[in-house]
Amino acid sequence: MTDVESLDPAATTSPADVEATPTKHAGLALVLILTAQLMVVLDSTIANIALPYIGNDLDISQANLTWIVTGYALAFGGLLLLGGRLGDLYGRRRLFTIGLVTFAVASLLGGVAANEAMLLGSRALQGVGAAMAAPAALALITTTFPAGPARNRAMAAYATMSGVGAAIGLILGGWLTGLDSFAGLDVEGWRLTFLINVPIGLIAAAAVPRILAESESHPGQMDIPGAITGTLGLLGIVFGLSRAGEEAYGWDHAQTITSLVAGVVLLVAFAIIESRVEHPLLPVRIFANRTRATSFVAMMIAPAAMFAMFYFLSLFIQQIMGFSPLEAGFAFLPFSFGIVIGAGLASNLVARVDARFLAGTGTLLAAAALFMFSRIPVDESPKAVLTALADGGADINYWTHLFPFIVLMAIGMGLVFVPMTLTAVHHVRAEDSGIGSGVLNTMQQVGGALGLATLSTVALHFTNGQASEVAKPMAEAITATGGDPTAVVPGTDLSFLEAAIFGSSFPEGAVHAFLVASMLMLAASAVIWTFLNVKHTELATDAPEGVHVG
């Protein structure tokens, strides 16, 4: 083991900080950490299947529904760096516990939300709790398990949970959304997708002091200006991209332009602040390591495509194919098995095969899957759409057009998550592991928020264009069959004309979103193949770099 103090004379790190040693509670600690990771990742997708029902109950527009997903990801990603630094300064176990309690309280507020503002506010607060818990969780793994097989297995389990949690969120969300009562109480099923987190979060928080040891605190100052400018800058960019895709606004609208310009200015200010303050929220030097920088960039682009896939495919399966919430949830069950297979392969191979080959191959598989989603055959003609409305869904074969590519996507992402997680936090000093893992999680969540905002803009552009073209012929087709275009479709708030237009236009937007998502995944693959050159033998060592990060 390399002597840190010989590399950095100013270092005050104790030997315990340099080399992680498993405790007698290491197994229980990993279970607790994975439970928390499952909870925060699960909430990135659990509401996806419930979106149509939430929209109907709380009168939320189609454009604003994306904020139920994006709002959580943005608060989560925007505050992760702050959460990582707080853990480094004041103790990771403490922040982990506070984060779990905050998440549980926010979930309770979401479950009883009476309007759109209350629901979106609760989602943002969930993101705040997740931003405190997630970086502490990953940092606790790096300081509990030593480099080598033990850490590889723990990281593989953590990375697997990142993907499995997203799929489980869809399955659990589908089951809960389909319920109309629970424990003898009448309750809308979508509310249960939030309320289920309350007991899990509180029980996990109560177990933390008994299982996890507190990390050493490292004195320093909080970079409040950096936290404010960084978070608001990201919010401005995402909000501007979302507005650009809405028919009522567009790219040339003053609100869109102002939001995007303000976001860019704030992010530039953030970069300037980080380069000058003594204790930056995002140390610029953390990107000086080529391996870490490559991993961060790749883990920003790849999840952007993956989470957008969950969003659009969950809506497509329900609103175009006519699946029930539970059926839609189980449609994603193969993703859980696929990512376990991919992560298991990566975990076994990462000690013998360079991360570049594993993650590079994984991104190519995922890109191929996304491209095939863009080729789903949908007949958008008036006759076919009206037939689908009458039959309860379009005639699309799940086993032929979705199942193989859901599995392919999952295996690919399993091959990506494990090596990218290891390379992103490798060689970060123990006292900085909170901020290092915070950057990794930030890239994933911010990438997801930006990806969904961007792809939603693409989808809305093509959806609106198709809607304009089919509105008149669709109304004529309904009238020709003896129907009333203004009559309400049973069980919905839509007229037959509105439902028919949606059935013809949404697939047009979705397939273009999948196509752009496949391009994003290819971009992530290009970054990995070109710049990730760390050898597998290096991942078996735990020596920190000589340069103090932070």
- CA distance linking residue 299 with residue 291, whole number of Å: 12
Q: How confident is the model at residue 122 (pLDDT cuts 50, 70, 90)?
A: very high
- CA distance linking residue 227 with residue 546, whole number of Å: 27
Residue 91 backbone zone (phi > 0: left; psi -120 to 50: alpha; other: beta): left
User: Is the C-alpha dihedral spanning 470, 321, 304, 201 positive or negative?
Assistant: positive
Residue 457 has pLDDT above 50, yes or no: yes
Q: What's the average model confidence in pLDDT over 423-429?
A: 73
Q: What's the average model confidence in pLDDT over 287-313?
A: 86
Q: How confident is the model at residue 543 (pLDDT cuts 50, 70, 90)?
A: very low
Residue 128 has pLDDT above 70, yes or no: yes
Which range, 105-119, 290-304, 536-550, is most confident? 105-119
Contact 49, 174 (CB under 8 A): yes
CA angle 401, 402, 407 (to 5 degrees): 130
pLDDT number for residue 220: 63
Q: How confident is the model at residue 517 (pLDDT cuts 50, 70, 90)?
A: very high
Range in 5-14, 46-55, 423-432 with the lowest mean pLDDT:
5-14
Q: How confident is the model at residue 429 (pLDDT cuts 50, 70, 90)?
A: low
Instruction: Give the residue from 310, 318, 226 showing the smallest Cα distance to 275.
Output: 226
Q: What's the average model confidence in pLDDT over 475-495?
A: 88
Q: What's the average model confidence in pLDDT over 249-276?
A: 91
pLDDT number for residue 423: 87
Amino acid making up residue 114: A
Range in 20-34, 187-201, 437-451 with the lowest mean pLDDT:
20-34
Strand partners, 330: none
- Bridging pattern class, strands 185-186 and 181-182: antiparallel
Residue entry with tokens 């069959």:
481
Q: What's the average model confidence in pLDDT over 491-498?
A: 84
Q: What's the average model confidence in pLDDT over 117-144?
A: 87
pLDDT number for residue 430: 59
Give the residue ranges of DSSP H helices in 148-253: 149-177, 189-195, 197-211, 224-244
* φ, ψ at 14 (rounded to 5°): -80, 160
- CA distance linking residue 101 with residue 143, whole number of Å: 23
If DSSP codes are grouped into helix, strand and coil, which group holds residue 495? strand
For 486, residues 6+ apart whose C-beta sits below 8 A from its C-beta are 495, 496, 497
Model pTM score: 0.78
pLDDT number for residue 433: 60
Q: How confident is the model at residue 9 (pLDDT cuts 50, 70, 90)?
A: very low
Burial annotation 510-546 (CB, 10 A radius, 16+ → b, else e): bbbbbbbbbebbbbbbebbeeebebebeebeebbbbe
Read off the pLDDT of residues 360-390 as tens digits, 9 standing for 90 and up.
999 999 999 999 999 999 999 999 999 999 8
Tell me how far apart the 2 most distant CA atoms of the chain are, in Å: 85
Residue 108 has pLDDT above 80, yes or no: yes
Give the residue ranges of DSSP H helices in 145-179: 149-177
Q: What's the average model confidence in pLDDT over 443-468?
A: 86
Residue 490 has pLDDT above 70, yes or no: yes
Strand partners, 185: 182
- CA distance linking residue 434 with residue 425, whole number of Å: 10
* φ, ψ at 395 (rounded to 5°): -85, 80
pLDDT number for residue 471: 94
**Residue 235 corresponds to which tokens in the numbers above?**
């919010």
The more confidently predicted of residues 183 and 434 is: 183
Instruction: Give the residue from 246, 513, 509, 517 showing the smallest Cα distance to 380.
Output: 509
Q: What's the average model confidence in pLDDT over 458-475?
A: 92
Residue 6 has pLDDT above 70, yes or no: no
The more confidently predicted of residues 549 and 73 is: 73
Residue 219 has pLDDT above 70, yes or no: no
Residue 11 has pLDDT above 70, yes or no: no
Contact 61, 244 (CB under 8 A): no
Residue entry with tokens 């310009």:
261
User: Is the C-alpha dihedral spanning 97, 440, 329, 319 positive or negative?
Assistant: positive
Distances (CA, A) of 214 to 139, 144, 211: 12, 11, 10
Percent of the chain with pLDDT over 70: 89
Contact 256, 245 (CB under 8 A): no
Q: How confident is the model at residue 456 (pLDDT cuts 50, 70, 90)?
A: confident
